[in-house]
Amino acid sequence: MKLSILITAAAAVSCANAFTISQPSRCRGPATTTLHMSQEEMDLITMDADERMDKTISNLGENLQTIRTGRANPNMLDRVEADYYGAMTPINQMATISVPSSQQLQISPFDKGSVADIEKAIIYAGLGFTPTSDGNVIRINIPQLTEERRKDLLKQCKSIGEEAKVAIRNIRRDCVDSIKKMEKAGDLGKDQALDGIDSVQKSTDDHVKLVDESVGKKEKEVSTL
């Protein structure tokens, strides 16, 4: 009886060992999953870099709009901030800005007590404007650009463009550093890392090209008499 039990137990162990040996794929499962997750993580990093670069282009457009071209445009005042009860506040949040004519801007503050502060902010913004006020409304007559002022504005265009390029390249650097760290940690293969770096470099080149195109377009507007 005892011998029969021992033989049965041995057979069970043998079958269990045979079953374990016949299932080698289970040992490779976690590694495969890790590599798959690492690829997804790298994709998220490159997508985030793309979104940040897109945001930089959007900010570039907004900044270029503040550079005047000889015609009145409310966006000219987008970067002007005034002291409002101790807090520096964009004046386009403190007033309605309208364009009565192609050569004039009109600013109507919501709080009439802020008229003087807004007027002062416009004067010191370096835009070359001389605002006038009747105590309720501020008016700005947009002068025709002089050759000297036109050259200054062209320099501003280039400076704003360079700032955008620096921001884009910094985003690229951060992304590449993250990918290299993943490769060094063994989370990515060499080919995967190279693919990711190539992808972010292409995105960088595309966005830098967009910067050049936007700046070139604005420079043409400024240069047109």
At 32-75, the pLDDT tens digits run 455 555 888 999 999 999 999 999 999 999 999 888 777 788 88
Amino acid at 46: T
Q: What SS3 class is residue 186?
A: coil
Residue 119 CA to residue 94 CA, distance in Å, equals 12
Mean pLDDT in residue range 9-34? 43
Residue 144 has pLDDT above 90, yes or no: no
The C-alpha atoms of residue 65 and residue 79 are separated, in whole angstroms, by: 10
Q: Say yes or no to pLDDT of 19 above 70.
A: no
| Residue 96: per-residue pLDDT | 96
Question: Per-residue b/e over 141-153, b at no fewer than 16 CB within 10 Å?
Answer: ebeebeeeebeeb
What is the distance between the alpha carbons of residues 149 and 143, in angstroms, rounded to a whole number?
11
Q: How far apart are CA 94 and CA 215, in angstroms?
A: 29
SS3 89: strand
What pLDDT does 103 receive? Answer: 86
Task: Judge whether 120 and 84 are in contact, CB under 8 Å.
Answer: no
* Section 99-125 average pLDDT: 93
User: Tokens for 62?
Assistant: 């907004």
Amino acid 167 reads: A
Q: Given a cut of 60, is residue 22 above it in pLDDT?
A: no
pLDDT tens digits for range 146-166: 888 889 989 999 999 999 999
Q: Give pLDDT, residue 225.
A: 60
Determine the pLDDT at residue 223.
Answer: 86
pLDDT mean over 80-108: 94
**Residue 168 contacts residue 207 (beta carbons within 8 Å):** yes
Tell me what pLDDT residue 143 has. 78
Q: How far apart are alpha carbons 147 and 165 in whole angstroms?
A: 27
